[in-house]
Amino acid sequence: MLSGKVWRVRIHVNAADEWHGKPVHLEILRYLQKQGCARGTILHGVAGFTEAAGVVTTSLVEARGKRPLVIEFIDSRDAVERVRPHLREIVGNRLITFENLELSPLRDESPPPETRV
């Protein structure tokens, strides 16, 4: 179980990006899980911009298949360094950020008890 110092990695891609003919965001998530990384998620953006493009909102982006997505995962520094080269290979010149964080201790992940209203 993770606790203490961890790294958070964010990988910025478009929904239309592919890796070997498959959606890159799902392939990255599967890769991270296979590598034993602790936690990961994919966030859908409602708007975004880059140096080369103006602000684009989701409704315009979806029509062109460029809806912004952020794949985010946390793990130890060693685990991040182990997967980092392959992630760079997968996403090419897409933005990847790394943050050093202090993780609050996690509680038991069992589902909460049912409550009756």
> What per-residue confidence (pLDDT) applies to 51?
80
Mean pLDDT over each residue of the chain, to the nearest integer: 86
CATH architecture of 4-103: 2-Layer Sandwich (3.30)
- Residue 117 scores a pLDDT above 60: no
> What per-residue confidence (pLDDT) applies to 50?
79
> What per-residue confidence (pLDDT) applies to 66?
72
Q: What is the pLDDT of residues 9-33, one digit of tens each?
A: 999 998 889 999 999 999 999 999 9
For residue 82 the two structure tokens come to 């182990």
Please state the domain extents for the chain. Answer: 4-103
State the SS3 of the chain: CCCEEEEEEEEEEECCCEECCEEHHHHHHHHHHHCCCCEEEEEECCEECCCCCCCEEHHHHHHHCCCEEEEEEEECHHHHHHHHHHHHHHHCCCCEEEEEEEECCCCCCCCCCCCCC
More confident residue, 111 or 30: 30
Share of the chain above pLDDT 90, in %: 56
- Residue 2 scores a pLDDT above 90: no
